[in-house]
Structure 1
Amino acid sequence: MSTSSSLVSVLIALPLRLLYRANSESLSASPEYDPRASPLFFFSSVVHRSKMSAEIEESRTRRSSIERSLRLVKKAFLNISVEPIIFFVYIGWVFGNTLQSPGLYRRICETYYGDDPKVHCRHLTTHFVEDKVQIHSAEWSLYSAICYLTPAVFADTILGAYGDKYGRQVNILIGIAGIAFSEFGFMLTISQAAHTPYWTVLLFGLTTGATGYIALVPVSCNAYLADITTDSDLLTIKSSMLIVAQQLASIIGGAVAAALSGMNIPLAVDVEIALYVVAFVYTLWRIPQRPGYMEQTRKIRGNTLTSIKSSRSDVTKFFSEIWQLLKEGFVTYTRKRVGHRRAFMFITAIVLMLTYTTAVETRTSPVMNTYVFRRTSEQALAWTSRDIGYWNASGFFCLIVGTVGGIFVFKKIFRFRETTLILIALVSSSIRTVVIAFATKGWHMYAANVCGLFSGLVQPAVVSFITQLVPYEETGRAFSLFGIGGDLAFIISNLVYSNVYRGTVAWMPGFLFLFIGLLQLLAGLAMLWVHFCSAAEGVGRIDQSLNGPRDIQRAISTLAEEHDENSSQMAIFTTGERKISKKKSTALNIYDHALERRLQKQNSAGFWESLTDVRRDRNGSFY
């Protein structure tokens, strides 16, 4: 805007100054001539003053934006809420997992070769035996994932809906208690005193999965921030602080575990559980059990518009609401949309799940630990818990630097689109996995972490891109299936990755990571299509700060809904004792009606085909 106004000012002022100079030269001989009295001088000065005022106004706007950002950051730091919970939970989790991983690997070896006097499970020396132990380790990793992820799919759905309705404190407490309970299974299995069979871990995993396991804690913390924060900019800062707290805790947990690698397992589990207790007590003290602002508003409206009496029990209502939410989320992804937006949503969601599972699979998973513990082949890394701790700490540090710095450089300075950030993240993550596949020395693994510097850009970029594809009122529904999709993605990825590692460990242990890199390459090709096609359709070109067509879309989408709500309010006063129907209104809002008109005109469009000539929609029109 400032560039165009400056250009106009120059085009106007230049000919005026030339005319003014010619006129002044012709009149300069007259002693009574005053240049300031010339109309041309007056008009030129007006143009100059308007240009100066525009520059001053732009400077004031920029300064006020910076001051507001600083105020929001200060407010976020002064109102710390769930960040310490994430900090203590992830310090304990990374610390415990790092120290327990060699013991679990040894326990699997003892399960199959404990009675063989020629096999020393603490220090394997036979290549054939180690290959067998690696295969069995991948099998048990798959069984463990199925045991805790299968019930976690249902637990995350039920507990997530419960948190939306009644508050987040109970969910956070249940998640912390489930993590702490699972540690007793590991301690009983690894401990020389109890020395229970390895399937003890599976039994504890089933119970822990019913509590949502560790995924429930960050999800509930993010939801709590959304419940208590109405300013979207402040919410972005708080969410970023939560991510930084999680990554910083992972760095500290890995580094401390590496420094204390000689600590015995029972004592390490005690330290881990103590950190969970601190997070549990803090949650009881700091986080209240009450629904968020939007839920309270909905309840007030519901109590006004509906009758208090109900023929159904609260439990039946609760599960029917869950089913309705799942159905609405499914419809959000499957309904036909303008252009290729539905295909964009599917591809970006798949990319998010793939990169998320890749991040876990190549950092803290049992298969990753199994890969680095190899010691009998010539090019094996032969790592210990100390090496894993320092390597994970460096990896999480690179993630923090790459995510924060990448967003600032690529988004704020270069103004890259969200799809460009996703492509950069996919390339970075793919290079990292390929380097891990061919790593034969410790510094190769650290170089891989540096190559994956920008792999953490996927999550913020996908979230921002999804908000550009769906109307404002559908954003929450689009994100509601991410938790369930993440659990299912982990089940599928563990099923695939474990079997790939089992089948290739004998001839190329790093082939799994090449396979993961190939999957990310295919996802990158699909994302490249999204990048160019979305640019052609004008996705992301609308300047949000100008309150443009997206705000118009938001306004017109709610007109019909407000009309229905006002009609219901009037019905309270006009129907007397008659029961108001609780059936959900099927009336379409204006935005949905416009889409239905498009569907009627081009009902034969395929899944990957455009609904209409997208060139008509580049200016943000929905009709």
Structure 2
Amino acid sequence: MNEIKGESSSVRQNILTRKVENNRASNVRYLYGLEPGLFSLYFAFNLTNAILQNQLLKQTCLQLGYNLTICSNLNTDELTKAVEEEVQPYVANINSSILLLNSISPALFSLLLGSWMDKFGRKKILMMSFTGYTSTLTLIAIFSFISDHVTPLSPWCYFFAEFPMCFLGGWPTLDIAVCCYVTDLSDEKNRSFRLGFITFLNFLSNVSAYSSSSFILEATNATFVFAISFSCAVIAFIYTIIFVDESIQVPQNVKAIEQIKEVFSYARIQEIYFTITKKRTNKERRMMWSLMVIVVLVVFTMHGNGTVNYLFVREKFGWALREWTVFDSTNTVITVIGLLIGLTVLKKYFQISDMSLGVLALISSIIDAIFKAFATKSYQLYLSSVFGLFRLLSTPVFRSIMSNILPHAEIGKIFSVTTSFEALSGLGAGPLYSSIYKKTLTTFPGAFHLITASVFAFNLLLSFFVYRWKKSRDISMLQL
């Protein structure tokens, strides 16, 4: 136990030393070097996601024996609409399987790598994640080319394309590496803004990708779009190698094989267990676990909604890819505006606390989900996005609160546990949302949005308890 404490103190000192050195130098490249590469990778991934559902529908349709003309024009008349209703459950199963694949292995990786990153640094994990994303996007482009220009492939090929990304950590490992990197380079005053800016980049890339994807697809083909994604991922990979520096001091004389062994070290697992279970003063353990639950449940709803959202708007409103991408881009722009208003106007100028912003985000999310569930006209979906203006605030502000109440040396471990649970939440979210959607497809296809509203209502209740505990803690800290 003393070794663990000693190592944590050493890590803390290394981080503080590196911060001081770089603050003195005012090194802009060091402070903001990660963001351009991250944006390029986000754009690549979102551009692929924007049209992948369309490709899955088309290839599933072909596998069921329909001709290319029908499969290329699904949901355009009564005949093709009936065909799509037959195809959609198969696609929902593929989506659920992909979600499960991206939950199990990445959850284990992120759990083991959190403590490892505190000792050996963040950049190695960033590069591992970038490699996985780039490899998966490459396989998707290859499979699309073969299916469209050589011979039709089973849509399950895209499930296997996810393997490199999955077994190199996936989004959970990338997420924890980015959060730790940003936390290393920020303080309590600007941490929520920095974490929020990463969220902003993700959704800005989402807008760029979704707003352009349908136009590029109509002008070219799916393979060309996937090739653009692959190219952007390669650019992100090369940029990060060259321009992103390590954020903490790391041991220089440890062999690669020894570093790999450290990933699976029992001492690392012990250290994580001790960190998340040890008694803390001022109800900090309660707050830590409650905040973890809130963040995990937010991601749970994202997993679930992502599985069936596109299928929902096609079934309920008869939308094609163009209508969906326009709506998704508009929805993203609205929520990004809400994110910027929250982190700049409300927080910076009106001094509204992170906790208050979190509550605002949860209320906004509840209203958004309820409106979507009962929407009968397309404009009502757009209206729901306006009510959901502040929903993007929840993840960065609750993570910021979590990082502010915990010692800096424990951030990697806590984020790793949180991210592991986020990944595992897909094990429940994907099948649950897909099952509800399939059972209510012809009666109430928006029913899954009520699950989302219920989850956010629970989060809202939990946040009130966190508020009380944090207020009590702050009073105790002032009295010391």
Band the TM-score falls in, shorter-chain normalisation:
0.7 to 0.9
* TM-superposed deviation, 1:493: 1.5
Q: Please give the secondary structure, in 1, of the residue aligned with 2:389.
A: coil
Mapped partners of 1:342, 1:223: distance in 2: 20
Separation of aligned partners in 2, 1:495 and 1:96: 23
User: Aligned partners of 2:457 and 2:228: how far apart in 1?
Assistant: 41
Task: Name the residue aligned to 2:242.
Answer: 285
Q: In 1, are the aligned partners of 2:210 and 2:325 still within 8 Å (CA)? A: yes
Distance 2:51 2:202 in 1: 19
**Is 1:435–2:371 an aligned residue pair?**
yes
> Which of 106, 110, 113 is residue 152 of structure 1 equivalent to?
106
Paired with 1:141 and 1:516, the residues of 2 have a C-alpha distance of 18
- Structure with more helix by fraction: 2
SS at match of 2:32: coil
Aligned partner of 1:539 in structure 2 is 473
- What is the CA deviation profile of residues 139-180 of structure 1, one whole-angstrom value per residue up to 9, with x for unaligned ones? 111111122332222333455555544444443333233223
Query: Equivalent residue of 1:139, what SS?
Result: helix
Task: Tell me if 1:419 matches 2:350.
Answer: no
| Deviation per residue, 1:550-586 (Å, 9 max, x gap) | xxxxxxxxxxxxxxxxxxxxxxxxxxxxxxxxxxxxx
CA contact under 8 A between 2:207 and 2:328: conserved in structure 1?
Answer: yes
Does the 8 Å CA contact 2:354/2:401 hold for their aligned counterparts?
yes
The share of aligned pairs that are identical, in percent, is 19
Identify which of 397, 415, 430 aligns with 1:461: 397
Cα pair distance change 1:139/1:173, threshold 3 Å: same
Q: What's 1:209 paired with?
A: 166
The structural deviation recorded for 1:275 is 1.0
Q: How far, CA to CA, are the matches of 2:51 and 2:459 in structure 1?
A: 34
Deviations 1:5-51 (A, max 9, x none): xxxxxxxxxxxxxxxxxxxxxxxxxxxxxxxxxxxxxxxxxxxxxxx
1:85 has 2:49 as partner = no
1:540–1:329 CA distance, 2 compared to 1 (3 A): farther
Match of 2:136 in 1: 182
**CA 1:197–1:504 in 2, change beyond 3 Å: closer, same or farther?**
same
Which residue of 2 is the match for residue 257 of structure 1? 213
Amino acid at match of 1:133: V
Q: Does structure 2 retain, via aligned residues, the 8 Å contact 1:258–1:388?
A: no
Pair 1:389 & 2:325 matched: yes
Take 2:258 and 2:30, find their aligned partners in 1: how far apart are those partners?
39
**For the structure 1 residues 264 and 151, does the alpha-carbon distance in structure 2 shift closer, same or farther, using more than 3 Å as the test?**
same
| 1:398 paired to 2:350 | no
> Which residue is 2:204 aligned to?
248
State the AA in 1 paired with 2:155.
Y
The aligned counterpart of 2:309 is: 368
Q: Which residue of 1 aligns with 2:91?
A: 137
**1:184–1:83 Cα change, 3 Å:** closer
Structure 2 unaligned blocks of 5 or more: 1-22
Bigger Rg over Cα = 1
C-alpha distance in 2, partners of 1:411/1:198? 46
Residue aligning to 1:195: 152
What's the offset of the Cα at 1:252?
Answer: 1.4
CA spacing shift, 1:267–1:110, aligned 2, 3 Å: same
CA RMSD between the two structures = 3.4
Contact in 2 for aligned 1:357/1:490 (Cα 8 Å): yes
Using the TM superposition, give the Cα deviation of residue 476 of structure 1 relative to its aligned residue in structure 2, in angstroms. Answer: 4.4
In the TM superposition, what is the alpha-carbon distance from 1:269 to its structure 2 partner? 1.1
SS at match of 2:369: helix
CA, structure 1 residues 191+366, in 2 after alignment: closer, same or farther (shift >3 Å)?
farther
Deviations 1:528-553 (A, max 9, x none): 33334544xx23457xxxxxx4xxxx
Counterpart residue number, 2:65: 114
Deviation of 1:501 after TM superposition, in Å, equals 1.7
Q: Is residue 395 of structure 2 the alignment partner of residue 450 of structure 1?
A: no
Distance 1:541 1:194, change over 3 A: farther
User: What's the CA shift for 1:475?
Assistant: 4.3
Counterpart of 2:106, as a letter, is A
Q: 2:258 aligns with which of 311, 314, 321?
A: 314
Does 2:296 match 1:353? yes
Measured in 1, the distance between the counterparts of 2:462 and 2:186 equals 35
1:466 and 1:324 mapped to 2: Cα distance?
Answer: 24
Q: Report the TM-score, using the length of structure 2 for normalisation.
A: 0.81
**Conserved in 2, the CA contact under 8 Å of 1:468 and 1:539?**
no
More deviation, 116-125/469-478: 116-125
Deviation at 1:462, TM superposition (A): 1.3
